[in-house]
Chain A
Amino acid sequence: MSSQAAEPDTVRSLDDLDVIVDTDFHLTERQEDIFPYLEDPFYSLLNSQGEGDDYGYLGRVYPAHGMVYSVTVGKADSPTVRTSEDVQKGKDLIEWDKAIATPTQNLYLAAVHHDDLAAALARAYNKWLLDNIVDTDEGVYGALVVAPQKPIKAAELVDDFADESGIAAVMIPSGSVHPPLGNEDYYPLYEACERAGLPIKMHNAAGTMMTRFPTQWQSLNRALPVHVTSHNMMHQVNLADMLTQGVPVRFPDLDFVIQEAGLGWYPYFMRRFDHDYMGAKFDAPMLEKEPSEYLRDQFYVTSQPVEGADDPEYLNSIVRLFEGENSLMFSSDYPHFDFDYTDALMKILRSEFDGDEIKNIYGETAEDVYRF
Chain B
Amino acid sequence: MAANDESQTTGTADNLHHVTSVDDVDDGERVVVDVEGREIAVFHSNGEFHALSNYCTHQGGPACEGLLTGTIDVDEDDELVWACDDEIVSCPWHGWEFDITTGEHLASDKYRLPTYDVRVIDGELYVEF
Contacts and interface: CB of A to CB of B under 8 A. Distances in A.
Interface of A: 70-71, 73-77, 246, 250, 274, 277-283, 285-286, 290
B108 A290 contact: yes
A275 to B, nearest CB: 10
A76 B71 contact: no
A282 B73 CA distance: 7
17 contacts: A70-B90, A70-B95, A75-B66, A75-B67, A75-B69, A75-B90, A76-B90, A76-B95, A77-B66, A246-B78, A278-B105, A279-B107, A280-B107, A281-B71, A282-B72, A282-B106, A285-B71
B78 to A, nearest CB: 7
A285 B67 contact: no
B129 interface: no
Interface string B67-103: 1010111100010100000000011111111000000
B80 A278 contact: no
A76 B94 contact: yes
Closest 7 CB pairs of A and B: A76-B95, A70-B95, A75-B90, A77-B92, A279-B95, A281-B107, A75-B95
B105 to A, nearest CB: 8
Nearest to A69: B95
A239 B107 CA distance: 18
Contacts of B66: 75-77
Given A76-B91, A278-B94, 17 more contacts: A75-B66, A75-B90, A75-B95, A75-B97, A76-B95, A77-B93, A278-B111, A279-B94, A279-B96, A279-B97, A280-B95, A281-B71, A285-B71, A285-B72, A285-B73, A286-B78, A290-B107
Contacts, number: 62
B49 to A, nearest CB: 23
B91, B92, B107, most chain A CB atoms within 10 A: B107
Nearest to A277: B107
Q: Interface SS of chain A: helix, strand, loop or mixed?
A: loop
A278 B96 contact: yes
Interface in B22-78: 58, 66-67, 69, 71-74, 78
Interface size class on chain B is: 20 to 34
Contacts of A250: 78
Given A250-B78, A286-B78, A76 B92 contact: yes
Contacts of B67: 73-75
Interface of B: 58, 66-67, 69, 71-74, 78, 80, 90-97, 105-108, 111
A279 B111 CA distance: 12
A285 B88 CA distance: 14
A237 to B, nearest CB: 21
Most chain-B CB neighbours within 10 Å: which of A71, A75, A285?
A: A75
A74 B107 contact: no
Nearest to B58: A278
A286 to B, nearest CB: 6
Contacts of A278: 58, 94, 96, 105, 107-108, 111
Contacts of B111: 278
Contact of B71 (A71, A282, A290): A282
A74 B108 CA distance: 21
Contacts of A280: 95, 107
Given A70-B90, A75-B67, A278-B58, A286 B74 contact: yes
A74 B66 CA distance: 8
Contacts of A274: 108
B90 A285 contact: no
Contacts of A290: 107-108
B67 to A, nearest CB: 5
B96 to A, nearest CB: 5
